[in-house]
Structure formats: C-alpha cells, structure tokens
Amino acid sequence: MAYWLFKSEPNTWGWDDQVAKGDAGEEWDGVRNYQARNFMRDMKLGDLGFFYHSMKEKSVVGIVEVIAEAHADSTTEDPRWECVDIKAVRPFVKPVTLDQIKETPMLADMVLVKNSRLSVQPVTQAEWQKVCAMGQTQS
C-alpha cells in the first residue's frame, strides 16, 4: 500500500466536488506533467491519498482512495497523458495547513514543502501517519 497527495485549486476542483461524486469517484484528469503522470502510473487500486487545497487554503482537507488505476485521460486526445480515478473516503476533522506542516520537523522533507508545484506527489508512511494524527483523522 502506497500513499500519495493530490493537489487541486479548490475553485477549479475542490474537496466538496469530490465528495459530491460519492463512491463512483472521478477522474483525476488534466495533469500535464510527466513526473505527476509517472506517479499516477505507479498507483495501485486501494492506495490512499491526501486531498490538498492550494492557493488560499493551503491545507490537507481529506483522504481519497484510488478506485481505478492509470488509464487514458478523457480530456485530451494526446496519448501521453493518463490519469487515475479517485473517490473521497473521509474528511479531516481539522484540516492540516501548509504552515503546520512546515513547523513540524519530521514533515520538513515532504514533497509538498520541497517541490510545491508538483500536483501529484508520493507521501511516506511516516508522513501519512503524522499528518493524519495532526488532522485528528484515522489513518
């Protein structure tokens, strides 16, 4: 089981939109970055991820699950781009902000801190458990 982080600007696609899709989930499409795509290719059914709101909020707000492995991105004809499907699993009781993450020494190496522009990122198990604890959410 691997852990990931999906980043989105809430005005474009937010946690509420994801929750509204229910168990059917939704494609995580529109990714046009090779690194991010390669991480999605590595994802397996049942992998879990953080859902992160960028820009104004800059917070991890919930947990999602991979419900379909990488397949063609339906928003482009370009065969280079692929995406996975994810569904909302549960929200954070308390969203964990980027500031909190930066203040936490054991999270200082998170990709979110090191390479903030990457929209799909791997998360280590230690980071996963720590952030879940900070959000008062079952890991």
Residues contacting residue 133 through CB under 8 Å, at least 6 positions apart: 139
> Is residue 119 a contact point for DNA (CB under 7 A)?
yes
- Please tell me what DSSP assigns to residue 12: T
Cα–Cα distance measured from residue 22 to residue 89, given in angstroms and rounded to the nearest whole number = 9
Q: How far lies 48's CA from each of 43, 99, 133, in Å?
A: 9, 23, 15
Q: Let me know: does 131 contact 14? Beta carbons within 8 Å.
A: no
Q: Based on the shown chain and the rule CB under 7 A, indicate whether residue 55 belongs to the binding site for DNA.
A: yes
- 54 makes contact with DNA (CB under 7 A): yes
- Residue in 32, 42, 65, 69 binding DNA, rule: CB under 7 A: 32
Q: How many CB atoms lie within 10 A of CB 116?
A: 14
9 binds DNA (CB under 7 A): yes
Least distance between DNA and beta carbon 10 (Å): 11
109 binds DNA (CB under 7 A): no
Structure tokens, 40: 């999605």
State which residue, 63 or 111, has the beta carbon closest to DNA. Answer: 111
Question: Among residues 18 and 54, whose Cβ is nearest to DNA?
Answer: 54
| Residue 98 binding DNA, by CB under 7 A | yes
Quick one: 10 or 25, whose CB is closer to DNA? 10
Sign of CA dihedral 101, 135, 92, 43: positive
Query: Which residue's CB is nearer to DNA, number 11 or number 129?
Result: 11
Residues that bind DNA (CB under 7 A): 7, 9, 32-35, 54-55, 58, 98-99, 112, 115-119
